[in-house]
Amino acid sequence: MDAFLPLAILVFLLAAGATGNNGYTTSSPSPTPPQQQHTPPAPVMPLPTHIDKLLVRVEGMVYCQSCKQRNTHRLEDAKALPKAEVSVICHDTKNRIMVGCCWAIADDNGYFFADLGMTKVSNFFMGDPCKACYVRLRESPNFKCNGLTNINYLGVEGTPVRDVGKRWTDQGYDNIVYAAGPLAFWPMI
């Protein structure tokens, strides 16, 4: 949030009509002496230092591990797994599973996007979704590739979400898209 503060101030000043000449305007030269007009600067509104409302989303990829890499923690030659299901689970301030956790289905490229909806940052365990949320494999649509892997200890136990800088403020709340994964099932044959 602090990284966006200078940008937010610049946008505010530009929207308020501030100019590089300290708000003074000049007219074109005329035979009479020019009169300077002073436009008072727009008041600078303090920006909120912390917004508690948060719209949380999680994205990631689901793969089918290559037969060559089966029973390893490697994803070389893995293929995207369309229609695979994952669940996003978050913990509340008392480390209990929060109401409103969700699941998502991967698209044709194995990409999933889960929308956890609007909540408050203070509702998450330790006040941080990165410490409170993780993603687990749920179900594979491919009966030939439906074994749960624990690649990087992520599939069975759950991969924690991580902040990759996809954050913006809109209408008084923060929007954030966390990344998870990669997650993979392994071939059963």
Residue 47 lies in a domain: no
pLDDT digits (tens, 9 = 90+) for 4-59: 444 444 444 444 444 444 443 344 444 444 444 444 444 433 334 456 788 889 99
pLDDT digits (tens, 9 = 90+) for 94-124: 888 887 678 899 999 999 999 988 888 888 8
Residue 46 lies in a domain: no
Residues 6 or more apart from 154 whose CB is under 8 A from it? 135, 181, 182, 183
Residue-range definition of the domain harbouring residue 57: 53-186
Residue 159 lies in a domain: yes
Q: Are 76 and 124 part of one and the same domain? A: yes
Q: Are 33 and 58 part of one and the same domain? A: no
The 3 state secondary structure assigned to 34-68 is CCCEECCCCCCCCCCCCCCEEEEEEEEEEEECCHH
Residue 101 lies in a domain: yes
As for how many domains the chain has, the answer is 2
Phi (first) and psi of residue 123, to 5 degrees = -80, -20
Q: How far apart are CA 169 and CA 23, in angstroms?
A: 28
